Amino acid sequence: MLVVIDTNVMLSAFARQSPLAPLFRSIAAGRLRLAVTSAIVLEYEEIAQVRGGAAFSAKVMHWLSLVSASWDSVEMVHPAYQFKVIASDLDDNKFTDCAISAHADYVITEGKHFAPLANAGYKPQPITPEAFIERYRGVHV
């Protein structure tokens, strides 16, 4: 299964005691594939540095590199079109553009402004991390 994970969810999943940690472990084990763009990776790095400093940012980037090399679980996507699905937070369109271009199954997010994606007619659907974990526990998570 291929997913796009927004920054807040991705960084929250890094904490071992986080209820979202199963997402991190599933990607690391190759049971779940992550689609990213260079803009998404840069946002992960930037926000990780703001939240946890240079060491945390380096840890996130190292993890992405290792997972990509070890399990081929990270797919780099190069969207050729901007779909402009989200009007309320234009910066988050990078996640929907990635998901649509990659034919991902879900955008895992806690952001309510991703709701327009559900009715936009594209394959990827928004889902909260808790709902995703509950739905796919024992299968992908």
Torsion angle in degrees (nearest 10) through CA of 85, 91, 96, 97: 90
Considering its fold, how many domains does the chain have in total?
1
Condensed to tens digits (0 to 9), the pLDDT of residues 60-87 reads 999 999 998 888 899 999 999 999 999 9
Asked whether residue 12 is assigned to any structural domain, the reply reads yes
Asked whether residue 17 is assigned to any structural domain, the reply reads yes
Q: How confident is the model at residue 116 (pLDDT cuts 50, 70, 90)?
A: very high
Does 26 have pLDDT greater than 90?
yes
Does 141 have pLDDT greater than 90?
no
Question: pLDDT above 90 covers what percent of the chain?
Answer: 87
- Of 103, 78, 83, 123, the closest CA to residue 2 belongs to 103
Does 33 have pLDDT greater than 90?
yes
Alpha-helical (H) ranges within 72-128 are 93-102
According to the model, what pLDDT value does residue 71 have?
81
Q: Please give the residue range of the domain that contains residue 24.
A: 2-136
Asked whether residue 28 is assigned to any structural domain, the reply reads yes
What is the domain-level CATH number for residue 28? 3.40.50.1010
Condensed to tens digits (0 to 9), the pLDDT of residues 8-23 reads 999 999 887 899 999 9
Question: pLDDT above 70 covers what percent of the chain?
Answer: 100
Asked whether residue 130 is assigned to any structural domain, the reply reads yes
Asked whether residue 141 is assigned to any structural domain, the reply reads no
- Tokens representing 8 are 């807040």
According to the model, what pLDDT value does residue 87 have?
94
Report how far residue 88's alpha carbon sits from residue 20's, in angstroms, rounded to the nearest whole number: 25
According to the model, what pLDDT value does residue 72 have?
83
| Strand, coil or helix: 26 | helix
**Per DSSP, which regions of the chain are E strands?**
2-5, 33-36, 74-76, 106-108, 125-127
Asked whether residue 108 is assigned to any structural domain, the reply reads yes
According to the model, what pLDDT value does residue 104 have?
98
Q: Other C-beta atoms within 10 Å of 65: how many?
A: 11
Please compute the mean of the pLDDT values over residues 25-47 and round it to a whole number: 96
